[in-house]
Amino acid sequence: MTYESHGTPLEEYQLTKADHRGQQGSEDAKRWAAEIIAKKEAEEAADPVLKAGRDEVARRALAMIASWRTPDHELMRWRVRLYCGHIVETQRHAENACPTAHGSSSMKCPECGRDPSYIVAFEPLGLVAEPPKPQAPAAPSAPKRRTRAQLERRLAELEAEVSELRQQSAPSDSKDR
């Protein structure tokens, strides 16, 4: 995987019109999400059964999310410059060539608290941990030896099956003669 860099060195990066549009888009998306949540909360206030159902679905979803932790060797560390001007480190899945892929183009700034703060420049730092070394394939185990009694029972089963098949395929007294 080749990881991208943009706007390096981060300390000298100057905001562009595209960065201002990106920040505006992030803020608009946050406002839109807040409006949707407010509507859903109003629906739930009027219908306790709906609220209970949604709460249960949310609990199950959070339990699923909490039960899986991405292994460190699948996480890439990034040094990013945020719209607010702060340079911070973040992590994204290592399958992404840049930290802004798949809807993660902004984040809450851990320095000033601006939320959202658009990622305007970035550079990869490396994986959080080294991938595990591949394990040598296990040697095929020798088949388990059967006892004489087991072999004799299996032989009797097979002989009975052969006898049955012969009877089924033997020509019967045909009335066609």
Mean pLDDT rounded to a whole number for the chain: 92
Burial class (CB in 10 A: 0-12, 13-18, 19+), 132: exposed
Residue 108's identity, in one-letter code, is K
Pick the residue with more confidence: 70 or 135? 70
pLDDT score of 176 more than 80: no
pLDDT band at 169 (very low <50, low <70, confident <90, very high): confident
How many structural domains are present in the chain? 1
59 domain residue, yes or no:
no
Residue 83 included in any domain: yes
Full-model pTM: 0.69
Q: How far is CA 110 from CA 24, 28, 61, in A?
A: 19, 21, 26
The answer to whether position 122 is within a domain reads yes
- Reported as a single tens digit per residue, the pLDDT across 112-140 is 999 999 999 999 999 999 988 888 777 77
Please check whether residue 107 lies inside any domain of the structure: yes
Percent of the chain with pLDDT over 90: 75
In a domain, 53, yes or no: no
Note whether residue 135 is domain-resident. no
Q: Is position 139 within any domain?
A: no
Q: Does any domain span residue 44?
A: no
Local confidence band at 177 (pLDDT 50, 70, 90 cut-offs)? very low
Indicate if the pLDDT at residue 82 is higher than 50: yes
Top-confidence residue, 141 or 95: 95
- Residues 6 or more apart in contact with residue 106 via CB below 8 angstroms: 22, 23, 26, 82, 83, 116, 117, 118, 119
Distance CA 71, CA 73 (A): 5
Is residue 173 over pLDDT 60?
A: no
CA distances from 50 to 43, 46, 62, 92 (A): 8, 9, 18, 35
Structural domain range at position 90: 10-30+70-127
- Closest among 84, 78, 79 to 109, alpha carbons compared: 84
